[in-house]
Chains A and B, each alone.
Chain A
Amino acid sequence: MNTQTTPDAQISPAAQSRSVLDVIDLTIRYGTKPAIRNVSLSIPQHRITAIIGPSGCGKSTLLRAFNRMNDFIPNVGMEGQILYLGSDIYAREVDPVEVRRRIGMVFQKPNPFPKSILQNVAWGPSINGFTGNLEDRVEQSLRRAALWEEVNDRLHESALALSGGQQQRLCIARALAMEPDVILMDEPCSALDPVSTARIEDLMFELKERYTIVIVTHNMQQAARVSNLTAFLENGSLVEYGETDQVFTRPRNQRTEEYVTGRFG
Chain B
Amino acid sequence: MSQGSTAKPLLAGAGTRKSRTKEELIRFVLFLCAFLSILTTLSIIAILAWEAYSFFREVRVLDFLSGTRWTPLLEPRSFGVLPLVAGTLQIVIGASLIAIPVGLASAIYLAEFASAGVRRALKPVLEILAGIPTVVYGYFALTFVTPLIAAIFPQTQIFNAASASIVVGIMVLPMTASLCDDALRAVPESLRQGAFALGATQFEVTLRVVLPAALSGVMASFVLAASRAIGETMAVTLAAGATPKMTMNPLESIQTMTAYIVQVSLGDTPVGTVEYQTIFAVATLLFAITLSMNIIAHRVLARFREVYE
Q: Tell me the A residues contacting B by CB distance below 8 Å.
A: 67, 69, 72, 74, 97-98, 100-101, 104-105, 107, 109, 111-115, 123-124, 127-128, 160, 171, 174-175, 178
Contact = CB atoms under 8 A, between A and B. Distances in A.
Given A107-B193, A109-B190, A111-B193, A123 B199 contact: no
A114 B190 CA distance: 12
Nearest to A171: B194
Interface SS of chain B: helix, strand, loop or mixed?
Answer: helix
Contacts of A128: 198-199
Nearest to A102: B199
Contacts of B200: 97, 124, 127
A194 B276 CA distance: 73
B197 A69 contact: yes
B23 to A, nearest CB: 42
Given A114-B212, A115-B212, 20 more contacts: A69-B193, A72-B196, A98-B199, A100-B196, A107-B193, A107-B194, A111-B193, A111-B194, A113-B191, A113-B195, A113-B213, A114-B191, A114-B213, A123-B195, A123-B198, A123-B208, A123-B209, A124-B199, A127-B204, A127-B208
Contacts, number: 63
Nearest to B115: A74
Interface in B179-206: 188, 190-191, 193-201, 204
A178 B199 contact: yes
B213 A74 contact: no
Interface string B207-219: 0110011000000
A101 B188 CA distance: 22
Interface string B149-176: 0000000000000000000000000000
B116 interface: yes
Contacts of B198: 100-101, 104, 123-124, 127-128, 174-175, 178
Contacts of A109: 190
Interface in B249-267: none
B258 to A, nearest CB: 39
A46 B194 CA distance: 23
B307 interface: yes
A176 to B, nearest CB: 11
A11 to B, nearest CB: 30
Contacts of B194: 107, 111-113, 171, 174
B209 A69 contact: no
A112 B194 CA distance: 8
Contacts of B196: 69, 72, 100
Nearest to B307: A114
A100 B197 contact: yes
Contacts of B204: 127
Nearest to B190: A111
A124 B196 CA distance: 10
Nearest to B188: A111
A128 B195 CA distance: 12
In the complex, the 3 A-B pairs of residues with the closest C-beta atoms, listed nearest first:
A101-B199, A124-B198, A105-B197
Contacts of A67: 197
Interface string B272-309: 00000000000000000000000000000000000100
A169 to B, nearest CB: 14
Contacts of B307: 114, 160
Which residue of B196, B208, B307 has the most chain A CB atoms within 10 A of its CB atom?
B196
B279 to A, nearest CB: 46
A114 B194 CA distance: 12
A160 B197 CA distance: 19
B206 to A, nearest CB: 12
A150 B284 CA distance: 55
B197 A104 contact: yes
A97 B199 contact: yes
Contact of A111 (B191, B199, B201): B191
Most A CB within 10 A of own CB, among B190, B194, B212: B194
